[in-house]
């Protein structure tokens, strides 16, 4: 039971510290829409999604107004289209993406995830069609997000898929060159993708989940930063163990808010409540940055020595506080460290405090990966595949989720500016060593074997 002071502090979070619900995501199972006839398939998925989701936005807005807590994004995730649309070729997959984009507009949601494939152990016919369709599907739609899982701790890394995805990313960037390759901002490549996360671009509804389900992603980096600052102002000699306790308590309150909103939305829509994703997700707004938390902890900037330790402490404390607040947590549940979407992190990269190598090191202790990283447009497919393979290896060996969302910006080089707008933000393009090299390692193909689990050290 919270005391009066804790209730007042939660109100303060809402009023002055950017506390909001980052995303309410309605997951919809499309397996009962399967057909060999494309017209029938598109008709069935439209009927099901519109029926389930037409009240999503009004319900979120009403409940947000009731509690004075904004639901920033309303989204839908579907079953992996590579599975439910397996009979169709790449051209038809593009048609499906356009159909889903029209449905997203019709029900007025921000993004629809699930244009996805799971290829960690091999590429089936539907997977191949979807991967071939990805560049056009992302370039010709505005609200469709995609993900491809290329590795797991039990299956290893599908290096054929990794190289294929490097080619897909380069082509998608080229097709949207006039917008700085924005199509790539809607595409994640994963290791150990979870089945129940509400955050784009990777959200999809996995198998073994209910027919429809509401998942919630909370925000709150500004809240955590303020809590640390208040605690250190009151007691400047606070140890890191006590600061971790402050973060844990704060995360508990933030998670309670997320679960409250999520359960009420689910009840109003007559569907199940799924999980709260505990991820701290930033926005390109001053005061709502993961990077500013590092400064509150006493570091000059995110990226300087000590950053990995600080991130490990932050992530662990958020998980512990969130797990106490909710019995059903899932998704990624860690701190996002996106370059473009976080103003402070973008500035750290621009000033040279944060390099792509340090970002990779930090992903060993966060739950996401190389997120929203703009790189030179002339980066070779081999280098791009090598970066992704490294990130997948971190996830595979450490039995955790990792991902890459990399944007090769056509016609631009390291140090040039890129602007995507909205939540996608802006940044300077990061320097990538050996960007144009064509190392043959990734072209060996095949599958890097899964690690042995009985000799962990």
What is the model's pLDDT at position 323?
A: 86
CB 146 within 8 A of CB 138: yes
User: In terms of C-beta density within 10 A (0-12 exposed, 13-18 middle, 19 or more buried), how is residue 207 classed?
Assistant: exposed
Tell me the mean pLDDT in the region 385-407. Answer: 95
CB atoms within 10 A of CB 70: 18
What does residue 28 show for φ and ψ, rounded to 5 degrees? -130, 125
Query: What tokens were used for 14?
Result: 């809402």
The DSSP bridge partners found for residue 151 are 157, 191
- The pLDDT tens digits for 261-311 are 999 999 999 999 999 888 887 776 667 788 999 999 999 999 999 999 999
1 pLDDT above the threshold of 70 = no
Q: Among 165-179, 248-262, 322-336, 369-383, which is the least confidently predicted range?
A: 322-336
CB 138 within 8 A of CB 188: no
Q: What is the DSSP string of 10-27?
A: HHHHHHHS---EEEEEEE
440 pLDDT above the threshold of 70 = yes
- pLDDT over 70, % of the chain: 94
Q: Higher-confidence residue: 130 or 369?
A: 130
| Alpha carbons 19 and 17: distance in angstroms, whole number | 6
Helix 38-53 with 90-106: angle, nearest 10 deg: 20
| Alpha carbons 401 and 331: distance in angstroms, whole number | 9
DSSP 144: E
Q: Would you place residue 456 in the very low, low, confident or very high pLDDT band (cuts 50, 70, 90)?
A: low
Nearest to 194 by CA among 208, 214, 212: 208
Instruction: Tell me the pLDDT of the chain averaged across its residues.
Output: 91
8 pLDDT above the threshold of 70 = no
């Amino acid at each position: 039971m919270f005391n009066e002071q804790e209730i007042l502090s939660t109100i303060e979070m809402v009023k002055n510290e950017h506390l909001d619900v980052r995303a309410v995501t309605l997951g919809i199972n499309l397996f009962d829409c399967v057909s060999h006839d494309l017209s029938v398939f598109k008709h069935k998925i439209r009927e099901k999604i519109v029926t389930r989701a037409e009240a999503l936005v009004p319900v979120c807005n009403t409940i947000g107004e009731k509690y004075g807590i904004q639901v920033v994004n309303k989204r839908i995730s579907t079953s992996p289209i590579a599975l439910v649309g397996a009979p169709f070729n790449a051209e038809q997959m593009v048609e499906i993406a356009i159909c889903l984009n029209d449905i997203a507009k019709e029900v007025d949601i921000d993004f629809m995830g699930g244009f996805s494939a799971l290829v960690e152990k091999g590429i089936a016919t539907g997977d191949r069609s979807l991967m071939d369709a990805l560049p056009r599907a992302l370039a010709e739609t505005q609200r469709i997000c995609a993900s491809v899982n290329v590795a797991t701790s039990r299956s290893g890394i599908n290096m054929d898929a990794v190289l294929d995805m490097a080619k897909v990313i380069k082509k998608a960037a080229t097709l949207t060159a006039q917008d700085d390759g924005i199509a790539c901002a809607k595409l994640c490549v994963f290791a150990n993708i979870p089945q129940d996360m509400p955050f784009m671009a990777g959200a999809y509804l996995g198998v073994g989940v209910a027919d429809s389900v509401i998942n919630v992603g909370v925000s709150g980096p500004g809240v955590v930063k303020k809590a640390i600052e208040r605690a250190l102002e009151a007691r400047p000699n606070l140890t890191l163990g006590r600061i971790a306790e402050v973060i844990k308590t704060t995360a508990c309150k933030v998670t309670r808010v997320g679960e409250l909103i999520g359960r009420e939305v689910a009840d109003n829509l007559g569907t199940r409540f799924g999980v709260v994703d505990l991820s701290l997700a930033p926005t390109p707004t001053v005061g709502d940055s993961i990077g500013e938390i590092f400064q509150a902890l006493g570091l000059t900037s995110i990226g300087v020595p000590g950053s990995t330790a600080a991130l490990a402490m932050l992530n662990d404390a958020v998980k512990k506080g969130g797990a106490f607040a909710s019995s059903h947590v899932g998704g990624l549940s860690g701190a996002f460290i996106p370059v473009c979407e976080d103003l402070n992190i973008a500035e750290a990269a621009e000033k040279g405090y944060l390099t792509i190598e340090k970002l990779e090191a930090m992903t060993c202790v966060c739950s996401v990966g190389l997120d929203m990283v703009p790189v030179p447009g002339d980066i070779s497919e081999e280098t791009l595949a090598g970066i992704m393979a490294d990130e997948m290896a971190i996830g595979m060996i450490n039995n955790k989720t990792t991902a890459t969302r990399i944007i090769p910006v056509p016609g631009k080089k390291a140090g040039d500016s890129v602007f995507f707008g909205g939540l996608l933000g802006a940044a300077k393009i990061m320097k990538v060593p050996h960007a144009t090299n064509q190392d043959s390692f990734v072209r060996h193909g095949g599958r890097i074997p899964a690690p042995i689990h009985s000799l962990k050290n």
